[in-house]
Structure 1
Amino acid sequence: MTTITRRGLGALSVAGAGLAGPWHPARAQAAGTIKLGFTTALTGPFNEFGEGIRRGAELAVGEANRQGGILGRQVELAEVLDDQLVPDRAVQNMRRILDNQEIAGLMCPSGSGPSLAIVDMVVADGRPIINPQAQTPSIIYPDGADKPPRPNVFSVAISNTVEAEKLAIVLAGYRRIGIVHESTGYGVTGAELVKQAVLAQRPDARLTMESYNQRAQDMTAQLVRVQRARAEAMLVIGLGADFAVIRRNMSRLNINLALFGTSGAVTVPYLAGAGDLVVGTKAASYIVLGRRPMPAATRTFVDLYRAAYGTDRWYGPDAANPLISLANTVGSGYDCIGLMMDAIRRAGSTEKGAIIGALNATKDYPGASVASISFTPQQHTALRPEDLGIYQMLKRDDRVVLELLE
């Protein structure tokens, strides 16, 4: 298990120095810092998500500290641990984090499996936690969306329910549809919700469902079955590295159909792994980075990221047009920590009940990934269908770009 802390990584000293000059951890400790913590996939095959939300968290904390901190105190990421998207490691890490009674607020891991593994222990503990990326609805609503949410669990992630509703609008234009999904809770739940949403709009649709295991290196059998079903379009529900394998397999098998992906799939590993084969792929993702002009809070976030990291693999090579996945990775971590600090500020306290009360009263918070975030005691998810856009990958000036279609 890899442990990343301020002492080991200098997380906030990096963010603070890059944005606001020297910032010394010892001085912050002496003043009594407000401590936050989380576990996420910092290394391993899916670290584009975990490392991304870590960077977003650091940017949010660095910005807050540059402006004087919260309640007159500096903010510290006291525990940032690596679970490699492995549920058992996430549980071990969260136990360690919860043992630190000074930590006031938490962030969920970067995937549905780890988040589902830790959520009950966090609910029992009672401290507030915000979900940046995990899409399985039961993380927030264990008994269904028409029942109360977990009292201390909030989310800025793209819920499978909302994503399914958005994707169904475009998929319903086809009668025969293949859905190829990973065998995790995220993939299984997402596939079923898309199926229901498509059939609600087009009862005569014929859907072929195929699953695969994460990191599988050949999807020939699943793709052949989709082809035999005479699918006109196919949706992939999974992560970018696996989507790249699927796209390369499609090319080898000479399978040509309308190709769609979820937000989790259309990330840097898909672009890197499939190259120009990605051209023509359509996907649902956060709409804010595709809008011109960007919302003010999104523009501020983009500028902060570029100043700290430049045009790297998360931002993309084009300074004027950051990758859409920047919102789904770095932006979601930035918003989680920003919302937690905003709630502590409005509560005037780091007591868990006060923070949860303030989160429940969040109204029109300007986020980086979601333009306007509101929570109530009954509504703990920030994202609505209108916060998603449908993008298409195009080749322009020898570079793959994503163009917002709707």
Structure 2
Amino acid sequence: MKFITLSISGLLFLNSAAFAAQPSGPIRIGVIQPLTGSVAYNGQAYVRGARLAVAQRNASGGIGGRQVELQIEDGQCQPANSVNAAEKLIQRNKVPVLAGAFCSSATAAVMAVAEKYKIPLLSGVSSKADLTEKGMKYFFRSAETDRLMAKTFSKILAGDLKLKTVAYIGVNDDWGRGGVEDFEKYLNELGVKSVMKEYFDHGTTDYYTLLTKLRALNPDGVFVAAETQDGSILVKQLKEFGIETKVFGVGSWATSDFIGLTGEASEGIYAAVPYVSNMKGDRNEAFVENYQKQYKQLPGKYDASGYNSMNILMQAIERAGSDQPEKIRDALYKTDYEAPNGHFRFTEKGEGYGFDTVLVQIQGGKTNVITQAQTDKP
């Protein structure tokens, strides 16, 4: 398998002697993602990106001469299932590091397991702002927070969409509620009035009652926090109701899966996301080309998240010169990773920063970048 080489500054190429005292088998990385259920589209995209990163690394010799092997479990975005997956990966599969678990509520549950066993856990997706405020010593996040997105893009949204009133709709979990709260806070500070706040369960297929209320209120805009399956059904039903309210939000809005499922119903939607395939830059062009060769489609935010997460972890293992969990944890704090969407580093709390985020509008089935901003150190 041949890949275009990405130029990564700060990458430390250790020779195989650094791993001489380590086992000769593969280096295992545990991955917990929703592979079934209403968020499966997104979890599977993460895994595709992760597998591409590992394939590239293994094709170039692995880490210290050892191949990298993903151990993947289905957490279904459910806290209990994700905890069971973490216990299995740590106890049975003996992984020294974990990546997951997508939904913020599931990740919060796995954080306690990682802390108990002193195993580093990297989330490339979970965006509830307070996850890095819990005092955990083994948790890292290479993802945007909804608070960051709200702070960065609320003023542009309020001005461009001429918002005076907004309705808020979110999935009924930690991430959905957190996204609604963060955007409502910043838009309220700009003088935008809240007229509705409603939540739905994962896997909902009938939004009739919610949309009837929305149509009666007729707000200037509606903010939605939803992933691919739930969001696509909601948006299509919104259009079927003849509701012309401007739609914006966070989640999977700018992914090819979402656009493909919604078709014309996605036209005009604004999305605040950390990645789209048409972001500028040589590293992204190389990533998109490699991804398309492998999967015959364009990558989205979750594909990029899996790709970035694995590269961050593999570089940390290489810097550590070991697959011992504490050494990997210490090496993660020294992350200096050049990604398709910017430059990743971590704070002392494990919060990622330095990478780019974008506000896009879907036009003609494609993402049009309205503005791009680098994330500052918190």
TM range (shorter): 0.7 to 0.9
Q: Structure 1 residues 288, 272: CA separation in 2 closer, same or farther (over 3 Å shift)?
A: closer
Whole-angstrom CA distance in 2 between matches of 1:82 and 1:204: 40
Whole-angstrom CA distance in 2 between matches of 1:344 and 1:355: 5
- How do residues 96-245 of structure 1 correspond to structure 2 at under 5 angstroms? 96-100=88-92, 102-142=94-134, 149-173=135-159, 174-200=163-189, 202-203=190-191, 205-245=193-233
1:366 alignment partner, SS class = strand
Q: Structure 1 residues 296, 204: CA separation in 2 closer, same or farther (over 3 Å shift)?
A: closer
Give, in angstroms, the shift of residue 105 of structure 1. Answer: 1.6
- How do residues 6-45 of structure 1 correspond to structure 2 at under 5 angstroms? 17=1, 31-45=24-38
Give, in angstroms, the shift of residue 204 of structure 1. Answer: 5.3
1:307 alignment partner, SS class = helix
**Alignment equivalent of 2:309, drawn from 331, 336, 339:** 336
Sequence identity percentage: 22
2:133 alignment partner, SS class = coil
Is 1:392 matched with 2:368?
Answer: no
> 1:361·1:376 contact (CA, 8 Å) conserved in 2?
no
Q: TM-score, normalised by structure 1?
A: 0.80
Structure 1 stretch displaced more, 263-272 or 33-42: 263-272
> 2:276·2:301 contact (CA, 8 Å) conserved in 1?
no
Deviations 1:218-250 (A, max 9, x none): 223222333333311111111122222222222
Whole-angstrom CA distance in 2 between matches of 1:238 and 1:141: 24
> 1:39·1:108 contact (CA, 8 Å) conserved in 2?
yes
* Equivalence for 2:14: none
* Equivalence for 1:3: none
Whole-angstrom CA distance in 1 between matches of 2:339 and 2:202: 31
Q: Structure 1 residues 217, 101: CA separation in 2 closer, same or farther (over 3 Å shift)?
A: closer
Whole-angstrom CA distance in 2 between matches of 1:87 and 1:392: 33
Deviations 1:353-391 (A, max 9, x none): 22111111223x1013x310011323522366xx22111
Give the AA of the match of 2:366.
Answer: V
Higher strand share: 2
Q: TM-score, normalised by structure 2?
A: 0.85
Unaligned stretches of 5+ residues in structure 1: 1-16, 21-28, 143-148, 316-325
2:248 alignment partner, SS class = strand
Unaligned stretches of 5+ residues in structure 2: 5-21, 372-378
> 1:288·1:371 contact (CA, 8 Å) conserved in 2?
no
> 2:105·2:173 contact (CA, 8 Å) conserved in 1?
yes
> 2:235·2:266 contact (CA, 8 Å) conserved in 1?
yes
Give the AA of the match of 1:307.
Answer: K
1:42 alignment partner, SS class = coil
* Equivalence for 1:405: 370
> 2:139·2:350 contact (CA, 8 Å) conserved in 1?
no
1:150 alignment partner, SS class = coil
* Equivalence for 2:7: none
- How do residues 214-363 of structure 1 correspond to structure 2 at under 5 angstroms? 214-287=202-275, 289-291=277-279, 294-311=280-297, 315=298, 326-363=299-336
Whole-angstrom CA distance in 2 between matches of 1:65 and 1:379: 27
1:334 alignment partner, SS class = helix
Give, in angstroms, the shift of residue 198 of structure 1. Answer: 1.2
Structure with the larger RCO, 1 or 2 (CA within 8 Å, 6+ apart): 2
